[in-house]
């Protein structure tokens, strides 16, 4: 494992993820073939293209996509087979929030300025329409990723407290994911190391040290899996003791760390 100098850490945490010369840089030149394993991108394109083709989508009183549109796009969404089967088995009618992965894509797309709610109707913005083109998927993918980790309140996706310092230092967590998960690693062995040490103590104080693996899984690794950047094995659904994770080839093609000299092995 490598450690960062104070200067490198500062550069990483203050990096502008859109700066091609920054400490953390996202590759916007990926193609559809490159990102075919990223469900979040697939589902965002299904949402945007479907909404565009409908000339907009009427919102419910709660501000969600209406049932008719959810039903129209459901089969085109990239969802785990068991997840899709459960949705259909337990819901007589399917609302947006019953398909949480679609709901999350809609929320992030709205935060990213790809869709907007105008007079109770969801419309695709010009930017959103432009980025549905096949040759713009790399730009769309990077925008969705930045919005998810930097604009979305990550506490929205789980039952943990907000833990704002965890989110403001997520660049460090991404760096450590890259460092620790080049090969299969047990989540319980590496979970604490995914968080900046100065932040870890505060997290433990709020949720307890025994819940750090759950936080790492739900707030960091599962979203990365949805972006096709991490894979898992050993998940039986009965706890995380056997879960192992490993970054995908796409991770290193998409996220580049430029930290210069000064890295040291620890």
Q: Note if the pTM is more than 0.85.
A: yes
pLDDT in tens, 4-47: 989 999 999 999 999 988 999 999 999 999 998 899 999 999 99
**pLDDT one-digit tens code per residue, 82-139:** 999 999 999 999 999 999 999 999 999 999 999 999 999 999 999 999 999 999 999 9
User: Which tens digit of pLDDT belongs to each residue from 150-203?
Assistant: 999 999 999 899 999 999 999 999 999 999 999 999 999 999 999 999 999 999
Give 260's pLDDT tier (boundaries 50, 70, 90).
confident
What does the pLDDT read at residue 263?
A: 52
Convert the chain into a string of H (helix), E (strand) and C (coil): CEECCHHHHHHHHCCCCCCCCCCEEECCCCCCCCCCCCHHHHHHHHHHHHHHHCCCEEECCCCCECHHHHHHHHHHCCCCHHHHHHHHHHCCCCCHHHCHHHHHHHHHHHHCCCEEEECCEEEECHHHHHCCCHHHHHHHHHHHHHHHHHHCCHHHHCCCCCCHHHHHCHHHHHHHHHHHCCCCEEHHHHHHHHCCHHHHHHHHHHHCHHHHHHHHHHHHHHHHHHCCCEEEECCCCCCCCCCEEEECHHHHHHEEECCCCCCEEC
* Position 1 confidence tier, pLDDT thresholds 50, 70, 90: low
What phi and psi, each to the nearest 5 degrees, are found at residue 4? Answer: -100, 145
The pLDDT assigned to 2 comes to 63
Torsion angles phi and psi, residue 155, rounded to 5: -65, -15
């Amino acid at each position: 494992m490598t450690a960062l100098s104070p200067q490198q850490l500062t550069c990483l945490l203050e990096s502008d993820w859109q700066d091609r010369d920054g400490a953390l840089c996202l590759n916007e030149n990926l193609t559809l073939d490159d990102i075919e394993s990223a469900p979040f991108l697939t589902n965002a394109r299904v949402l945007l293209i479907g909404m565009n083709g409908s000339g907009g989508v009427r919102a419910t009183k709660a501000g969600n996509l209406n049932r008719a549109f959810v039903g129209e796009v459901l089969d085109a969404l990239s969802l785990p087979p068991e997840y899709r089967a459960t949705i259909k088995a337990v819901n007589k009618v399917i609302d947006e929030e019953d398909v949480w992965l679609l709901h999350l894509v809609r929320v992030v797309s709205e935060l990213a300025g790809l869709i907007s709610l105008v007079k109770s109707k969801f419309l695709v913005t010009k930017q959103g329409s432009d980025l549905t083109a096949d040759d713009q998927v790399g730009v769309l993918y990077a925008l969705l990723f930045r919005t998810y980790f930097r604009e979305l309140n990550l506490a929205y996706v789980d039952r943990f407290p907000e833990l704002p310092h965890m989110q403001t230092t997520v660049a460090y967590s991404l760096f450590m994911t890259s460092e620790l998960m080049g090969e299969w690693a047990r989540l319980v062995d590496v979970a604490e190391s995914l968080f900046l040490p100065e932040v870890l103590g505060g997290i433990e104080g709020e949720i307890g040290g025994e819940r750090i693996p759950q936080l790492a899984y739900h707030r960091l690794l599962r979203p990365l899996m949805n972006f096709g950047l991490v894979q898992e094995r050993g998940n039986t659904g009965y706890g995380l003791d056997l879960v192992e994770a490993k970054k995908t080839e796409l991770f290193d093609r998409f996220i580049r760390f430029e930290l210069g000299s000064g890295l040291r092995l620890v």
